[in-house]
Every structure is written in structure tokens, then in C-alpha cells.
Amino acid sequence: MNFPAQQPAAQGPDRVGQQTAVEQSRAVAEVQAAIYVARQFPRDVGRSRSAMQAACGSLALAEKAFYKFPRAGGSVEGSTIHLAKTLAQAWGNIQYGVSEMRRDDEYRQSEMQAWAWDVEANTRHVLTFVVPHAKFASGKVQALIDLRDIYENNANNGARRLREAIFAVIPEFFIDEAEELCRETLNKGDGKPIEQRVEGAVAVFKSLGVNEERLEQKLGRKKAQWTGADIAQLLITHKSIQRREIAVEEAFPQARITGGEITSRNAGRKQAPPDDDPWAGAPAK
């Protein structure tokens, strides 16, 4: 009598170590505790707005609240991760984070995840993305080899996605009010007269190799006509240069001289005699 061949027993799941089991239990307990605390102490919108208004009234935060970088012949502006984290703290009952889940040195890329979770409303926004170990510079893509460069590149990309995740779980009215207050704080400055702020801005950019003419070209008006909003715009640009989001030459391109300007300039000058003419400049007889 022929009996069917015995099938191999199905393999069970890999054994879970004691430390792994402890970490899994701890993670579950932390989630349950966060939800319980959020329900026991729900956010007070009025108190959250007061905390936000106080933070955005600080020049220290307002100076770091916005970014600016070049793209497609123009520039892109928006709110920074610094403002996003401050608003998350003010709104309350929000957890967020960013992590590198996997690094593949063979394909030169990292798989990362950024997330934000409103524990009270149980609203969660997750972004999973791949970051190439490369950067765009001098008109071409350059591979990143140094471990520190790879880490900084991953951190920068993670911060941008984290900002998006946080803003996705915070009401728009809260964000809009915060941005408006930060811009008002920048316009007011540190309480110094506008003349002192103007001279201070000129001095700061002079140290970067940007003269007064290029600043006036950027703002579209003479220095004597600058306002608090103009100083605020220059401050945002200066912070973006410090964070290496934009280069000086990209923020303040050199003025181009047109053909008409060259012609008009040459028309006002007398043509110099050629060097090989021995009679050049000789008195007429």
C-alpha cells in the first residue's frame, strides 16, 4: 500500500526574545497611556492660542519661522520646522518624530519615515519616503560618500517631511494666525528706529559681499524708502543663507548690463587714439 508523502510541518514564527517582547509591551503601554492622558486633559483652544501668540511675539522665533530657497528661476518661501514644532507644543497633545528605517549603501539611498499624531483627536499623518545619497550642485547631481554628508542630507529631508506631517494635524486657522503674527514681529523688529535697522541690514550683507546697490535692486527701491517689511524680507533671506538653503549669488544676482546701456555709455565717451599712431595728440600745423 502506498501512503502519500508526508508534508513538512509549517514553520512557525521566529522566536521572540525576551528583550524584544518587553519593548513591544512597553510601546503598547506608552500608546495607551498617551491616549488616556489626552482624554483626561483635553486641550483648551484659548490657552493654546495664548501660548502660540506669546511664542510668535518673540523675535527669536520669528527670525527662524520662515525659509526661502531658489527653484525654477524663482524662489519658494514657507514656514520652517522651528515654527512647526513650536505650534505642535502650543496646540498640545501631539506626538511627532522622524526615523531612518533602512539604509542601502549599495543603491545609495535611505528609506525614512516622518509622522505626527494628534493623540486627542486620534488623527495621524505618516510620510514614508526614499532619500537618495546625492545632492544637486553646480548644475549636476553629485553622489554623497562621506557619512556625515549622508546623515545631514537625511536629516534635512526628514525635517521637511516632518514639518508637513505636523502641519497636517494642526488646524489651518492656527497656522495662519501664527504666520501672520511672526511677520508682524519681524516688521516691528527689536524696537530700534527704522534708520538703525536699515544700516544694520546693510552692514550685515556687506560682510557677505553684497553691496547696497544689490540690496536696492532686490527690494526694488532706494535705501531711504525701505520699510519694516523690507527689513523683514532681508532678514528671512539672511537666515536662509546661513542655513545654506540659498546661495548669496542666487539671492542677489549681479545686475545685467543690456546692449542699449553699453551703447549709451560708449556714446558719451571720446574715442581714444590708437597706441600705434605717432601723430595722436600732436598739435595741428
In tens, the pLDDT along 117-176 reads 999 998 999 999 999 999 877 678 889 999 999 999 999 999 999 999 999 999 999 999
Residues 123 and 43 in one domain: yes
Confidence of residue 279 (pLDDT cuts 50, 70, 90): very low
Domain end, chosen from 115, 145, 177, is at 177
Contact 160, 81 (CB under 8 A): yes
Are 84 and 209 part of one and the same domain?
A: no
For residue 282, is pLDDT > 60? no
Let me know whether 40 and 67 are in one domain. Answer: yes
33-37 long-range contacts, CB within 8 A, separation 24+: 34/95, 34/119, 35/119, 35/122, 37/119
Asked if residue 194 and residue 172 are part of one domain, the reply reads no
The answer on pLDDT for 20 being more than 80 is no
Residue 115 lies in a domain: yes
pLDDT at 278 over 60: no
Confidence of residue 267 (pLDDT cuts 50, 70, 90): low
Pair 75, 135 in one domain? yes
* Residue pair 209/248 in contact by the 8 Å Cβ criterion: yes
The structure's pTM equals 0.71
158, 98 Cβ separation under 8 angstroms: yes
Can you give the pLDDT at residue 178? 97
Parent domain of 144: 31-177
Polymer length of the chain: 285
Poorest-confidence range of 53-67, 83-97, 238-252? Answer: 238-252
* Cα–Cα dist 210/233, whole Å: 15
Asked if residue 245 and residue 139 are part of one domain, the reply reads no
154 shares its domain with 247 = no
